[in-house]
Amino acid sequence: MINTDVVIIGAGPTGIFCAHQLGIIGLKCEIIDNLDKIGGQCIELYPDKPIYDIPAIPECTGEELTNNLIQQIKPFNFNFHLSQRVDEIKSKDGKWIIKTHKGTQMSSPNIVIAGGVGSFEPRKFTVKGCEKFEEKSIFYSIKDKEIFKNKTVAIFGGGDSALDWAIELSKNSKVILVHRRDEFRAAQSSVDKVKELNNQKKLEIFTQYQLLEVRGNASINSIEIKSESGDVKSLNVDYVLGFFGLIMNLGPILDWGLNIDKKKIPVNTKNFETNKKGIFAIGDICEYPGKLKLILSGFHEGALAARGCFKYAKPDEKLRFEFTTTSKSVKERLGIKE
Amino acid sequence: MPKITYIEHNGKKHTIDVANGLSIMEGAIQNNIPGIDADCGGAMACATCHVYVKEEWFNNLPQKEQGEEDMLDMAFEPKKNSRLSCQILVSQELDGIIVDLPKKQT
């Protein structure tokens, strides 16, 4: 069991900056995120797209913003728990017990939910019956490519993941690449490569087709694909892979009694506490009159929520307002030697 | 104000006035039309404001940008007349446009 002052759920810009503010006022925190990397939507949805409305930064990409924020909280040595989704929280002796799906447990008087629109999960096939083959014959990510050796694999999707795996698996498997339109949105070199492999009959491409049906008992033995014009093809395959990007899903947060309305958590604007004592919500997930879904708003919300956490973390101490420019104790926390 | 008609997957129709300059997505969100999620808030980054535009209107809309077609690859059951409603801006020319909503967005 990890004991800490604050558990932050979500390692996007809002969550990271809240951690910074906690560090400044002398609190400890642990940060949990379901993605395997730090940065949230900034890193997952638009790492290369320029952002123009971060105060005092005329232009930066999602990745640059993330890297700068990571740099900014370095002095505090906070722990990140990545690839973990918080599955359960419960109240015990005035503290919150937080449990992730991998079994990590934490105890803390405060939780800050900076979960954006939810945790990122792979977008799945919508065809009936696909669920029962998941992790057996149907995969949305690949952990062990050896299982595909000498098998027939149908890969759906037109982006980098789909094409990279089509190229890789074509070395030892029979690969069928299926995409809903003629253009691929992957790197040009990958597009050229799959077309070359197709010409050499090392893989087969079906464009303007989508999955219609999966057939099999314990595992898949065939699928049907259908074109826009209604043409149906039956294909014998052993495995089906889908690469349709990620969706965001609130998941277990819905079950925590937080008065969620339209996927948002109502908060007060004094310290961004929710209806539950010691649970705060900041960033895209919180809702209050005038709320803007901007990164800069998330920073403000994080700064106030951090102060809100103080009284539960250190009930016997008074929080003194200090500036980083002049406070000796803040500079010590930042590791600055004078 | 232009009238926009949203038809839910179950057939329920909502015809509402949407101000010029708003997107069809914003029109739906501000009027609590079920069936459009708009998780990313209009950044063309999530494909959860996906709609099917009635054929007669589809061809008259301004062309999609490259990024929109890429996102539509990830939408729930995309078709030829699929669009992201955050990318369609309401104007007088769109008065009367009809969009069908998919069964779900994710």
pLDDT tens for B50-95 read 999 998 999 999 999 878 998 998 898 899 899 999 999 999 999 9
| B83 lies in some domain | yes
| B24 lies in some domain | yes
Nearest to B45 among A45, A249, A263 (CB): A45
Query: Would you call B79 and A41 a contact, using CB atoms and an 8 Å cutoff?
Result: no
Q: What is the DSSP letter of B75?
A: S
Q: How far apart are CA B48 and CA B45, in angstroms?
A: 9
- Would you state the pLDDT for residue A143? 85
What is the total count of domains within chain B? 1
- Grouping H, G, I as helix, E, B as strand and the rest as coil, residue A223 is strand
Q: Is B48 on the interface with A (CB under 8 A)?
A: yes
Q: How far apart are CA A66 and CA A172, in angstroms?
A: 38
| B57 lies in some domain | yes
Structure tokens at A215: 């057939």
ipTM of the complex: 0.75
A46 vs B contacts (CB less than 8 Å): 43, 45
pLDDT confidence of A243, banded at 50, 70, 90? Answer: very high
Look at chain B and count its residues. 106
| pLDDT of A338 strictly over 80 | no
**Looking at the DSSP assignment, which residues form a beta bridge with residue B3?**
B17
Q: How far apart are CA B25 and CA B31, in angstroms?
A: 10
Of chain B, the percentage scoring pLDDT greater than 70 comes to 100
Hey, what domains does chain A have and what are their CATH numbers? 2-121+247-333 (3.50.50.60), 124-244 (3.50.50.60)
**Average pLDDT over all residues of chain B:** 93
Read off the pLDDT of residues A195-221 as tens digits, 9 standing for 90 and up.
999 999 999 999 999 999 999 999 999
Q: What domain range is B35 assigned to?
A: 3-100
Q: Is B76 on the interface with A (CB under 8 A)?
A: yes
A180 vs B contacts (CB less than 8 Å): 73, 78
- Would you state the pLDDT for residue A48? 84
For residue A219, what are the CA distances in angstroms to A34, A214, A308?
29, 10, 52
Q: How far apart are CA A156 and CA A233, in angstroms?
A: 15
- Would you state the pLDDT for residue A304? 98
CA A208 and chain centroid, separation: 30
| pLDDT of B98 strictly over 90 | yes
- Grouping H, G, I as helix, E, B as strand and the rest as coil, residue A77 is coil
Query: Would you call A46 and B43 a contact, using CB atoms and an 8 Å cutoff?
Result: yes
A295-313 and A13-24 helices cross at what angle (nearest 10)? 40
| pLDDT of A269 strictly over 90 | yes
B70 to chain A: closest CA residue: A185
| pLDDT of A309 strictly over 90 | yes
**pTM of the entire predicted model:** 0.82
Q: How far apart are CA A150 and CA A139, in angstroms?
A: 17
Q: Is B40 on the interface with A (CB under 8 A)?
A: yes
Nearest to B76 among A126, A159, A185 (CB): A126
pLDDT confidence of A4, banded at 50, 70, 90? Answer: very high
| B106 lies in some domain | no
| B105 lies in some domain | no
Distance between A31 CA and the closest CA of chain B, angstroms: 22
Q: How far apart are CA B106 and CA B103, in angstroms?
A: 9
Contact B38, B29 (CB under 8 A): yes
Distance between A255 CA and the closest CA of chain B, angstroms: 19
Read off the pLDDT of residues A37-47 as tens digits, 9 standing for 90 and up.
999 999 988 88
- Would you state the pLDDT for residue A7? 98
Contact A104, A82 (CB under 8 A): no
Q: Give the number of A-B residue pairs with CB atoms closer than 8 Å.
A: 48
For residue A209, what are the CA distances in angstroms to A131, A242, A299?
21, 13, 44
Contact B5, B14 (CB under 8 A): yes
Query: Would you call B45 and A46 a contact, using CB atoms and an 8 Å cutoff?
Result: yes
Distance between B3 CA and the closest CA of chain A, angstroms: 25
Which of B32, B55, B73 is the best mutation test for A, with the most CBs of A within 10 A? B73
Structure tokens at B3: 């009238």
Read off the pLDDT of residues A144-191 as tens digits, 9 standing for 90 and up.
899 999 999 999 999 999 999 999 999 999 999 999 999 998 899 999
Q: Report the CATH number that the domain containing residue B30 is assigned in CATH.
A: 3.10.20.30
Residue B80 burial class via C-beta count within 10 angstroms: exposed 0-12, middle 13-18, buried 19 and up: exposed
| B67 lies in some domain | yes
| B66 lies in some domain | yes
Which of B74, B103, B104 is the best mutation test for A, with the most CBs of A within 10 A? B74
Q: Is A187 on the interface with B (CB under 8 A)?
A: no
Nearest to A123 among B69, B80, B106 (CB): B106
**Looking at the DSSP assignment, which residues form a beta bridge with residue A119?**
A249
- Would you state the pLDDT for residue B46? 85
**Average pLDDT over all residues of chain A:** 95
- Would you state the pLDDT for residue A247? 85
pLDDT confidence of A263, banded at 50, 70, 90? Answer: confident
| B18 lies in some domain | yes
